[in-house]
Structure 1
Amino acid sequence: MRISEQKIEQIRSSVSIVDIISEFVQLRKRGKNYVGLCPFHNEKTPSFTVNEEKQIYHCFGCHSGGNVYKFLMEYDKISFVEAVQELADKTGIELELEKNISDEQQNELEELYELNNISARYFSDQLLVNNEGEAARKYFEERKLTLKTLRVFGLGYSLPANNSFISFAEEKKLDFNKLITLGLVGRSEKGRLYDRYPGRIIFPIFSPNGRVIAFAGRKLDERTPGGKYINSPETPIYIKGRTLYGLSHAKDEIRKKGMAIIVEGYMDLLALVQNEIKNVVAVSGTAFTEEQVQLLSRYTKNVTLLFDSDTAGINASMRSIEILLGQDFEIKIATLPKGEDPDSFVNNFGKIKFQENLDKAQNFLEYQTAYYESEGMFDDSGKTADAIRELVKPAALIKDELKRSLLIKTIAKKFNLREMLIEAELNKAIKNISTLESTQQRRTNIQQKTELSDAGNKDISTTLINLQTERDLIKLLFEGDVEVIKYIFDNLNFDDFKDERHQEIVKKVSAHFLQKENIEVSLLLDEFQDEKVELYLREILFDKHSISSKWEELLPDSQSEFKLFNYAVEVVNKMKINILENLIQQNLQKLEQAENEEEKFELIKLGNELKNERLNLLKETK
């Protein structure tokens, strides 16, 4: 399928990249940019930056970046066409797809999605149709799951015979290398292919937009080799820590009710949904991650944790509280009677009793206080002080000062202490967090400063001063108006830029400017074939590389086109001076090698002309 360039640009220009990314990432304004924790790698200090004016994003940690389409493609693991379609749906712009035979070939991601889809249908058929699926059907019947639930969530079964799925794949002529990538098939050290899920019930895992991205297989028979669960490995379309089981089915109900229930396991979720409790997602065997919280924040900022009442469940709740508070969530924690989990409770006592229990959910302070009390931490003054410090720590993660202040009052009143004491402990906790973040930021800065300047060519005339001047000129091409851009191109040639990356960037900008008479950064980035150059340009635009201190005077508050034009004249002159100094050095080398007086005379004359020209430019630049 092909979409016209005009339609792509119409859709892109009708949305704000800040608004779109804010659905996935909590962004805060910092200067002219917005910053937040990167959704593409784990980090404690925000390095993910979005520029609304240029409609691009860039992460200084993992180097991800691009325009709004690139973000959706990378975050949701979808194709370009799907990203355009998603934004078209948001904006209400009708999308017309032009068919083109050469474009009918699916890209690699699409092939992986299709293989998962075919496999999910196969597993479902083995459960619902094949006589050999009786054991799995009986298991689900004992767990009180209906046929409707099995169909809605695509549950399946992998037959016990080791080669059942492989035989199916051979019959359908599926790509075994891709099946291995997806974790549906394994290969032994001797090269033998084997099914990865024989004798297991299958839980397909869906992306937020409803595509099968992975599988989990639970064994029915304890004699089956391997652990209780076997999960898909991480693949180009699946990252475990960024997936919430059931979200594609629950997202509309979560939005409608304004809150989400978070449970641990697949069966917990299925039992609740079957009992008409649909605003529920499961972390499915992984510790609750910041990426999952960011994903959930797209739909709500209110959650109720409902984990098992055993030690593992309590520890999971404690960890989740900290992560959720750090992302500005409102949190409640529901508890179940000892020995119960959401699956057993709702099946034993019904929806009404379950809802009554949910209504009794505690806020995080009440929950943690009750836990510390059950652990005997309030039995003596030493333990009580430790418990209070533990209660204060999560409060340090709350960014809203009013909420923090109210929490201080609550803790002080509960333990009959002066607010000043609690506030002092809170400040210590905040300081500890700030110190940790500052240390991590310093490490990042040191790493960036110690990176070697990969200049892109080996011309010894390219000095750090030259590079900074060239970078300033590139920056001006994107910050200045039409007059600034024209002035730079009228006074310099492509080969005046000694760094090969700079040459490529300037050539692309020139062609783009001639075609559109302005520079659309978010479109221009897509024109680079070399990903390293595209990344390097993003780093210049987001000021990673050394830029003249002059920018601090010009941007962002005091920027004016007059100032930028004057600065452009200054930098162009500086570039010309650099060029002249190189020519003077080359001329001196030739003079040393000259063999006759006539040649020496001409070289001396040329050298004086170059020096005079340089002197005039130096006077203009001052």
Structure 2
Amino acid sequence: MIPKETVELITETARIDEVVGDYVSLKKRGANLMGLCPFHNEKTPSFTVSPAKGIYKCFGCGKAGNSVNFIMEQEHVSYPDALRHLARKYNITIEEEQRSVEEIQQESEKEALYVVSQYAQKHFTHNLMETEEGRSIGLSYFKERGFSLPTIEKFQLGFAIDSYEDLLVHAKENGYSIDLLEKCGLIKTRDDGKQFDFFRGRVIFPIHNVTGKVIAFGARTLKSDKKEPKYLNSPETEIYVKSNILYGISFAKRAIISNDNCFLVEGYTDVISLSQTGIENVVASSGTSLTTGQIRLIKRYTQNITILYDGDSAGIKASFRGIDMILEEGMNVRVLLFPDGEDPDSYARNHSTEEVHQFIREHSEDFILFKTKILQQEADQDPVKKAALIRDLIASIALVPDAITRSVYIKECSKLFEIAEQTLINELNKFRRTKSAKESGADLPYTEIPEKKQEVTREEESVNELLPQEKDLVRILLNYGERDLEYEITVTEEEIGPDGKQKIHKEILQTTVAEFIVHQLLSDGLEFEQSEFAAILGDYALALEGGLILKQNHFLQQAEEIGKTAVDLVVTPYSLSAKWRDKHMIFTKLEEEKLSYMVKNAVYSYKLKKVMQFIQNIQKKLKNDITEEEVNQLLEDQMALFEVKKKLSEELGRVIIR
């Protein structure tokens, strides 16, 4: 268990902009920050972060919450594990009972896989730095590659001893589950049941997820035996899905955001060498074909990708499909070809940081123009090949979502190939129509089978009718509960007036919005139907009994549904700009300016709806087979409710709260 005081310290310390900023590139938008939602694919940012309120909200998919909710959703972890994640980020010590290895292994398998992966990484790093074999073979290799000790430590590089049971024996001695190590691909089992280390006599490159947790390994052989595969890699697991991971992303994400560009390379050493040179906004696809998941991971941090190719790369043309996928995501792609015989790793080792930066600045070019040059070399003077080249190029341009960008590319191609723009536009439109038809399923016959409508009972309808009123009252409580409020009451005096009736006079009472709403509802015995709304109202009532008024943050920082409900009710996608009001002399009343009227209207509208619900229930009971006495009582209750309904309707027709 994490102590309550520590939970409060974590939630108070964690800054939502910093927490979300580890995963999403955020841009200032008024008092808030905006970015592309990490929970669903979108091209226009609808994900809002409010540093002042400590919350996030996506107006596209509806996901919302605080820092803890964000980590739970993003990392797919439990509430306690999300707190531990934030505690590590902010160097907060959690004083909880020490968990044994057995207790750790009893947790979810996913968390256990993280634990054994971290253990293996530390074991490989120990081998590299502390064993004779590791220093003489592994460390020597890394130093020959030009990697400094700080760089080796940063990327947590390691070495696997050339033994069939080095990791196996040490893991057993330290109480780690061999089954879990096998699931991570670190241990293998032969047909005869004998277990052995999978990585042997190899330098180790740990692979980290976005938050920096070790999730897999790449291992390079140092032997000259050509029968031996150069690289071995971890299999996919619950924590490692290769198509969604980029090597180096945890080290590069902040630099990608600050540079608004991501350099994409092929291998581990390319990333490490460039990073050591000072170019930190670099990641690798680790030898795999680029995937949509990897592209969208980069897109969280920038709209710009520069692909760095080896000088003698034979796979440039083969990579065009992956680049088309980048264009389809609406991103900007540039390409850089290193000199013959050079790759990013060797170029970074043989040149200064400034020389590398200068080379990239001067030689990177737009992908469409780069592709044109590559394909033109193949077409030469052959008209048929040239026509095929142009269609290939137009097919790539057709994938670009932005119409203006497409238009610019069409103009460039028109100049390069001396072909009329309209001809190219016609061809482009053919591709886009075909693409649109495929996406909409227009080429597939489809008959929709209507769902059978689920019957809704009268009671459910009645409850559903109340939800908008309940929601509005809770929204007002959360946003304005602490605000002062004056309201007018009618006081009946003991003294009899000239008309023979008791005198009455008006009084103005001072209170707060929270006190007014809670008193108005609870004094009439009214409770909310929706569970989260009822819980929030109950918390306000309990606090008021102790002379306190709860602050908005009390609810925003709660876990699970109450916290999410609170976030939904305090965040709005729209606000009237002060510049708009000044410029156009449009003075629409803001909620704060009509708060008194709004509070009264919300309370009495809810009461009126509730009274009408009571009347409906009575009318339903009158249709039942009941006694005359019961009928009379129900009719009496109904008359009383009609009187209350009349008074509430009158109240709603007058503005009496100021």
Q: Same fold (TM over 0.5)?
A: yes
Q: Does 1:264 align with 2:266?
A: yes
Instruction: Identify the residue that residue 470 of structure 1 maps to in structure 2.
Output: 470
Q: Does 1:216 align with 2:207?
A: no
Q: Does 1:38 align with 2:37?
A: yes
Does the aligned pair in 1 maintain the 2:540–2:549 contact within 8 Å?
no
Instruction: Identify the residue that residue 25 of structure 1 maps to in structure 2.
Output: 24
**Structure 1 pair 267/280, CA: closer, same or farther in 2 (3 Å)?**
same
Aligned-partner Cα distance in 1 for 2:514–2:337:
64
Does the aligned pair in 2 maintain the 1:145–1:274 contact within 8 Å?
no
What secondary structure, in the 3-state scheme, does the structure 2 residue paired with 1:305 have? strand
Instruction: Identify the residue that residue 360 of structure 1 maps to in structure 2.
Output: 363
Cα drift, residue 204 of structure 1: 1.0
Instruction: Identify the residue that residue 632 of structure 2 maps to in structure 1.
Output: 601
What secondary structure, in the 3-state scheme, does the structure 1 residue paired with 2:122 have? helix
Aligned-partner Cα distance in 2 for 1:114–1:334:
39
What secondary structure, in the 3-state scheme, does the structure 2 residue paired with 1:306 have? strand
Q: Does 1:572 align with 2:607?
A: no
Give a deviation string over 1:229-251, Cα, whole Å, max 9, x none.
Answer: 32253555x66555442355567
Matching residue's letter, 1:468: P
Give a deviation string over 1:534-578, Cα, whole Å, max 9, x none.
Answer: 44555566689xxxxxxxxxxx97532354543443343343234
**Structure 1 pair 327/188, CA: closer, same or farther in 2 (3 Å)?**
farther
Describe how 1:113-124 pairs up with structure 2 within 5 A.
115-124=116-125
**Structure 1 pair 474/372, CA: closer, same or farther in 2 (3 Å)?**
farther
Matching residue's letter, 2:207: I
**Structure 1 pair 587/387, CA: closer, same or farther in 2 (3 Å)?**
closer
Q: How many residues align?
A: 580
**Structure 1 pair 508/518, CA: closer, same or farther in 2 (3 Å)?**
closer
**Structure 1 pair 101/385, CA: closer, same or farther in 2 (3 Å)?**
closer
Q: Does 1:173 align with 2:178?
A: no
**Structure 1 pair 318/360, CA: closer, same or farther in 2 (3 Å)?**
farther
Does the aligned pair in 2 maintain the 1:397–1:430 contact within 8 Å?
no
Long gaps (5+) in structure 2: 442-447, 486-512, 574-586, 654-658
Long gaps (5+) in structure 1: 89-94, 440-445, 545-555
Does the aligned pair in 2 maintain the 1:495–1:503 contact within 8 Å?
no
Matching residue's letter, 2:527: D
- Percent identity over the alignment? 25
Cα drift, residue 66 of structure 1: 1.8
Aligned-partner Cα distance in 1 for 2:194–2:60:
40
Q: Does 1:520 align with 2:552?
A: yes
Give a deviation string over 1:21-76, Cα, whole Å, max 9, x none.
Answer: 467435689999876433245x2456853253644223477765322454467658
**Structure 1 pair 98/45, CA: closer, same or farther in 2 (3 Å)?**
closer
Matching residue's letter, 1:504: A
Q: Which residue, 469, 483, 489 being the options, matches 2:518?
A: 489
What secondary structure, in the 3-state scheme, does the structure 2 residue paired with 1:173 have? coil
What secondary structure, in the 3-state scheme, does the structure 2 residue paired with 1:334 have? strand
**Structure 1 pair 99/345, CA: closer, same or farther in 2 (3 Å)?**
closer
Matching residue's letter, 2:517: I
Cα drift, residue 261 of structure 1: 3.4
Cα drift, residue 202 of structure 1: 2.2
Cα drift, residue 266 of structure 1: 1.5
Aligned-partner Cα distance in 2 for 1:32–1:462:
39
Q: Does 1:383 align with 2:388?
A: yes
Aligned-partner Cα distance in 1 for 2:290–2:534:
46
Higher-Rg member (1/2): 2
Describe how 1:603-622 pairs up with structure 2 within 5 A.
603-618=634-649, 620-621=651-652
**Structure 1 pair 586/273, CA: closer, same or farther in 2 (3 Å)?**
closer
Aligned-partner Cα distance in 1 for 2:85–2:592:
39
Matching residue's letter, 2:391: D
Aligned-partner Cα distance in 1 for 2:290–2:232:
18
Aligned-partner Cα distance in 2 for 1:120–1:325:
37
Q: Does 1:369 align with 2:367?
A: no
Instruction: Identify the residue that residue 100 of structure 1 maps to in structure 2.
Output: 95
Aligned-partner Cα distance in 2 for 1:451–1:558:
45
**Structure 1 pair 80/595, CA: closer, same or farther in 2 (3 Å)?**
closer
Aligned-partner Cα distance in 2 for 1:62–1:597:
55
Quote the RMSD (CA, aligned, Å). Answer: 5.6
Cα drift, residue 263 of structure 1: 0.8
Matching residue's letter, 2:38: P
Aligned-partner Cα distance in 2 for 1:294–1:314:
22
Aligned-partner Cα distance in 2 for 1:189–1:49:
52
Cα drift, residue 171 of structure 1: 0.5
Describe how 1:270-419 pairs up with structure 2 within 5 A.
270=272, 280-288=282-290, 303-308=305-310, 312-316=315-319, 319-320=322-323, 323=326, 326=329, 329=332, 331-336=333-338, 341-343=343-345, 358=360, 359-376=362-379, 379-380=383-384, 382-383=387-388, 385-390=390-395, 392-393=397-398, 396-397=400-401, 407=409, 409-416=411-418
What secondary structure, in the 3-state scheme, does the structure 1 residue paired with 2:590 have? coil
Q: Does 1:83 align with 2:86?
A: yes
Give a deviation string over 1:284-318, Cα, whole Å, max 9, x none.
Answer: 24444666567657887765311356564444355
What secondary structure, in the 3-state scheme, does the structure 1 residue paired with 2:309 have? coil
Aligned-partner Cα distance in 1 for 2:302–2:453:
44
Does the aligned pair in 2 maintain the 1:306–1:333 contact within 8 Å?
yes
What secondary structure, in the 3-state scheme, does the structure 2 residue paired with 1:50 have? strand
Give a deviation string over 1:111-170, Cα, whole Å, max 9, x none.
Answer: 766543432232234455556669964994898566846565433343565543222111
Give a deviation string over 1:401-442, Cα, whole Å, max 9, x none.
Answer: 5x7765555344333456676678778889999999999xxx
Does the aligned pair in 1 maintain the 2:555–2:562 contact within 8 Å?
no
Q: Does 1:203 align with 2:198?
A: no
Cα drift, residue 614 of structure 1: 2.7
Q: Which residue, 581, 584, 590 being the options, matches 1:559?
A: 590
Q: Which residue, 233, 238, 245 being the options, matches 1:230?
A: 233
Does the aligned pair in 2 maintain the 1:472–1:571 contact within 8 Å?
yes
What secondary structure, in the 3-state scheme, does the structure 2 residue paired with 1:58 have? strand
Aligned-partner Cα distance in 2 for 1:365–1:315:
15
Aligned-partner Cα distance in 2 for 1:273–1:84:
28
**Structure 1 pair 604/209, CA: closer, same or farther in 2 (3 Å)?**
closer
Instruction: Identify the residue that residue 553 of structure 1 maps to in structure 2.
Output: none
Matching residue's letter, 2:264: I
Describe how 1:532-543 pairs up with structure 2 within 5 A.
532=561, 534-535=563-564, 538=567
Matching residue's letter, 2:123: Y
Aligned-partner Cα distance in 1 for 2:10–2:154:
34
Instruction: Identify the residue that residue 503 of structure 2 maps to in structure 1.
Output: none
Does the aligned pair in 2 maintain the 1:35–1:46 contact within 8 Å?
no
